[in-house]
Structure 1
Amino acid sequence: MTSEPLLILVNRKAGTAKKMGHTRLLETLERVNRSVQLHWLDPADLSAYIQQLVDDGNINELAVGGGDGTINHTIQHLIGTNIVLFPLPLGTMNHFVKDLDLPVRLEEFLPLLNSNRSRQIDVGCVNSHYFLNNVSLGMYPRVVRYRGVIRFSQRFPKLIATAYALTKVLLRHQSRRSFTWRTDKGDDISSPVFLIANNRYKFDMTSLVHRERLDEGRLMIIAPTDVRLPTLLEAILYAWTDRIEYASRLDVRAVKDIVINVDSDSTHAVIDGELIRLDAPIKLHLKKAALRVVDSLDTDD
């Protein structure tokens, strides 16, 4: 940690940030025992702002407030640098912060802004785009697309729009698009749905889904044979007891890289919660220890 003020960039439209507002957030940051500079930014301006900071070369740490999508946009500019990222939990779900085992309440996170402890974690890469959590292909991108249309046209809350869109997709989705992956043994795995995660997800009844580590150097692949009700129920049952790799209708593997072929020139994907269009074939690999992040204060030496 240096004597320079800590730059804090906040996506003003992120869930918790939007609820707090600029004034309240500024008052909350007064509890930090160091000088800080708060920049209240429109999400459209965030990427260019971060890239300029990196190009100037005058920072070695950066705090960014928002959800998983905001942090995803941030890391596109931090990979390959030694800048320490402080991911302020100012989004709605903050999955990445949870999986880092960092506080998800802002008041509890603030002491970390005084810390000089950091660690390196893995980052996934799909085509030329980095991701922290996961990439979804097939059904879920369709849900996100429908949800956006429903919210725009009907002004439904996000949760209701998601439930409606999911129901609509489940009723209509019958392998409209096929994704294929050839394993190291030469086997072809075909599925209408692929989930590729940065390191292994653990499933249990308390936290539902989380990752205990982000430094094992593996992508986790989950590909069901179909999206029919028996397959979904089996996946839920085995996931509930953290035995998803034993589900007969799911192909679950750990790999370092993967190439997924699509029966079209491009397809939609959801990357860390954001809808993006990807060109085919879809190439994924893992970058080991590619990002430096603040570490928990209670980490054992």
Structure 2
Amino acid sequence: MRFQVVLNRDGGTLRRRDADAVARSLREALEAAGHAVSVAAVAGDGMDAALDEAAAGPADIVMVGGGDGTVSAAAARLAGSDKALAVLPAGTMNLFARSLGIPADLDQAVAAFATGEVRAVDVAQADGRIFVHQFSVGLHTKLIRLREKKSFGSRYGKMIASLQAGFAAFLRPPRLAAALTLDGREIVVRASGISITNNLLGEGYRLPYAARPDGGVLGVYVTRARRRRDLALFALGALFGRWRRNAHVDVHQAREVTLRLVAHHRRFGCAMDGELADLGTETQLRILPGALKVLVPAQAKERV
């Protein structure tokens, strides 16, 4: 197979590693397995152009090394095409990579890709924009906004900044009033946060990622906790992956969702795969089953 590799030098893991050394190592591993390989290691502000070039090029596989935002940007370009996406887990949380069963270690991931198989998985869409993991408003969005005001130069620094931002967000949680239309059925909720995920999150997982990347549904998670004590209990449950067993979270699923914020919508932004974005009064979301081809390790094929 022909691989085009695009590495984000500013991604969580590659910030503290020699990106050129990583590029040489993966080139050698893939070429030893008989693949043709081209590698581009670029700074974060050059990723859009590099991804455009990779999507338009002759490669069968576009391998992307970076965080979930980088992976999401690549998926948006490749969804619906004949090219497959290989997710190199070089971000902070690597949530989409985890849902695909890709090893967290970079060298192990590359070795697995050398003999990997192509499978079709789902992506989700919010007002036409592709995301691979999560769309959120409220608590999670506030956490990201507060975290982005802090300085961090490594994966662990980002984790610490996230904890600090989370504590601050919990002290003064947002208050949302929203109407959700789930496959034609409307419910009205008052919440501190609403997250809509590309497939349902795994129960009992210590990180929030999808149990099945080809489940064909959106997961809708409404955090009703708004008092500090309730938020603390919610966070404790979330830490252990308790979603359906969490007294402060309502869990729904649907193929199409309309989110309409009832009041003060302009003061709330949203987050898509960890990146902040503007939010309108109404957002249309839907699942796109099997829209993205991905390269997964052979041992992970039963999961996908």
Q: Is TM > 0.5 for Structure 1 vs Structure 2?
A: yes
1:17 aligns with 2:18: no
**1:60 corresponds to:** 60
- Does 2:94 match 1:94? yes
State the 1:249 CA deviation.
Answer: 3.5
**TM-score calculated relative to the size of structure 1:** 0.86
Q: Which amino acid aligns with 2:40?
A: H
- How far apart, CA to CA, are the structure 1 residues paired with 2:239 and 2:7? 35
CA distance in 1, matches of 2:53, 2:250: 43
Aligned equivalents of 1:242, 1:166: Cα separation in 2: 17
Q: Which moved more, 1:194-203 or 1:180-189?
A: 180-189
CA distance in 2, matches of 1:286, 1:258: 9
d(CA) in 2 for partners of 1:243, 1:162: 20
Aligned residues with identical type, % of pairs? 23
How many residue pairs are counted as aligned between the two chains?
292
Is contact 1:10-1:66 (8 Å) kept? yes
More deviation in 160-169 or 83-92?
Answer: 160-169
Deviation at 1:198, TM superposition (A): 0.8
One-letter identity of the residue aligned with 1:106: L
1:262-273 alignment, distance < 5 Å? 262=261, 263=263, 264-265=265-266, 267-273=268-274
Measured at CA, do residues 244 and 277 of structure 1 come closer, stay the same or move farther in structure 2, by a change above 3 Å? same
Q: Which residue of 2 aligns with 1:207?
A: 206
**CA distance in 2: counterparts of 1:52 and 1:27, whole angstroms:** 20
> Which residue in 2 is equivalent to 1:170?
170
CA distance in 2, matches of 1:110, 1:226: 42
Please state whether the residue corresponding to 2:104 is helix, strand or coil: coil
Structure 2 runs not aligned, ≥5 long: none
Consecutive unaligned residues of structure 1, counting only runs of 5 or more, are none
Q: What is the Cα-based RMSD across aligned positions, in Å?
A: 2.5
Give me the TM-score of the superposition, normalised by structure 2. Answer: 0.86
Q: Is the 8 A contact 1:203 1:239 kept in 2?
A: no
Q: Indicate how the Cα distance of structure 1 residues 130 and 174 shifts in structure 2: closer, same or farther if over 3 A, else same.
A: closer
Alignment of 1:1-301 (within 5 A): 1=1, 4=2, 6-29=3-26, 30-32=28-30, 33=32, 34-56=35-57, 58-115=58-115, 117-151=117-151, 157-173=157-173, 175=175, 177-183=176-182, 184-204=184-204, 207-236=206-235, 239=238, 244-262=243-261, 263=263, 264-265=265-266, 267-299=268-300
Indicate the larger mover: 100-109 or 273-282. 273-282
Give the C-alpha shift of residue 110 in structure 1.
Answer: 1.6
> SS state of the match for residue 151, structure 1?
coil
Amino acid at match of 2:100: L
Rg larger for = 1
Decide which moves more: 74-83 or 206-215.
206-215
Change (3 A) 1:119 1:146: same
Go from structure 1 to structure 2 and tell me whether the alpha carbon gap of 1:190 and 1:294 turns closer, same or farther (over 3 Å shift): same
Q: Secondary structure at the match of 1:244?
A: coil
> Whole-Å Cα distance in 2 between the matches of residues 106 and 242 of structure 1?
25
Summarize deviations over 1:181-219 as a string: whole Å, max 9, x none: 245444323323101111111232x63443221111111
**Cα displacement string for residues 222-250 of structure 1 (whole angstroms, at most 9, x for unaligned residues):** 11223223433443565567653244432
